[in-house]
Amino acid sequence: MTILAGSTVIIVLHGLAGEEIDINAPSITSMRAAPSSKSNKHFTEGVRCMVSTSDGKYVTVTETCDEIRRAIEQTKHR
């Protein structure tokens, strides 16, 4: 789901418990994909992407980084 309001473009992502997380797409500064190996020591199981924002915070989500990129691209065509 995407919400457009002026310069704010909200994309809805999901946390590990299934909760919705609203992120202002223009505030995303980087994304890091979770490795697919079972020996992953940096991410909790179920996390597929870590999103960093311009305020220095980060959130881990169940969507892949590619899915997030596609959601951001779709907002540009509206």
Q: Give the architecture (CATH level 2) of 2-76.
A: Roll (2.30)
The pTM of this model reads 0.82
| Per-residue pLDDT reduced to its tens digit, 7-59 | 788 999 999 999 999 999 999 999 999 987 666 677 888 999 999 999 999 99
| Residue 2 pLDDT exceeds 60 | no
Return d(Cα 55, Cα 48) in angstroms, integer: 21
What pLDDT is stored for residue 35 in this prediction? 86
Contacts of 43-49 with CB under 8 Å at 24 or more apart are 44/16, 46/16, 47/16
Predicted pLDDT of residue 54: 95
